[in-house]
Amino acid sequence: MNRHECYMKRCLDLAVLGMGTVSPNPMVGAVIVCHDAIIGEGYTSPYGGPHAEVNAVQSVIAKYGTEKARQLFATSTIYVSLEPCAHFGKTPPCADMLISCGLPKVVVGCLDPFSKVNGLGIEKLQLAGIEVVTGVLEEECQYMNRRFFMQINENRPYVILKWAETSDGYFAPADTVQRWISNAASKQLVHKWRSEEDAILVGKNTALIDNPSLTNRCWTGKSPKRILIDRDLDIPADYHLLDQSTETIVFNAVKSEWHTNLKYIEIENFDLYLSQSVLYQLYLMDVQSIIIEGGAKTLQMFINAGLWDEARVFVSEESWGVGMVAPKINGALDIKLQVSDDHLLVYRPIL
């Protein structure tokens, strides 16, 4: 790994610290290097706050003072995992800020696909006489922001399928009795995932049988938006999903009605391209990523439509011998981890 790659790796380590707080912005890390020493670094603040480049610059100013910082900037390079923005959004353009700092060189991991930035940030820097290097750990930087790239390029959220199954391939009991498959450590990991993604979705049958809260109780951080598919609004009003404790969206065929934390969205032609309709509506609401929690019919609907990007499957040591068969996917095994006595298998689609 060369010097550029080492500093870009540090940018990625910083960027991930924004997981679960920056959406719908991308996760970005920035490192300022002067004479082969890191003098400042930062990552993107929670949505609406300063971007990574601003935080890195401010860290240098806080440490050295404005006058000394400007002297250091004149012989420094800033590494940033995503192209600096070139437009006014919640904050001013980072490209303009870097130009004003007098930095002579910028090293970029990957380009920003957003139309108001794509190449324009780099163009601004180059027109100002700044040397720009691009494509350092490009694939790693793109993967870091796979949710953001999916939202921009495909006009839908990044979809994570999640379920647990027994060692002999069963997903749920044959009857409607709730029965836990995975262990306590896996449950805690799932709650960590909830804090990292924008939304979590279940179908009506899962809601009726399990009466889940879908909130983040076993990990720190926010709870995701709760998404329920309930065609005829059969879920009783006293169920956890309708308690308005966190934002909840109910896709249905009956009504559109918005309360404080409970939104009913009617979908016309409900049974036609339902998964596509749900994802597009969520895209319009700036939902960048979603976990599909179940049940089997709901998971299979997204699988059949080819609308998934990761499948996270817990396999327990339990063997039932009978039950509802777990969903089947056409995926390639990407990661295998041990979670206490469970196995976590992560699949990617075979393209």
Q: Report residue 291: phi and psi, to 5°.
A: -100, 125
Annotated catalytic, 123? no
**154 and 137 Cβ atoms separated by less than 8 Å:** no
CA 227 – CA 242 distance, rounded (Å): 11
Point out the catalytic residue in the list 5, 41, 53, 268.
53
SS3 151: helix
**Amino acid letter, 126:** Q
Nearest to 292 by CA among 281, 278, 271, 280: 278
Helices and strands, number each (H, E), in the chain: 11, 17
DSSP single-letter state for residue 241:
G
Cα(266)–Cα(250) distance, rounded to whole angstroms?
A: 8
Q: Mapping DSSP to helix (H, G, I), strand (E, B) and coil, where does residue 38 land?
A: strand
* Residues known to be catalytic: 53
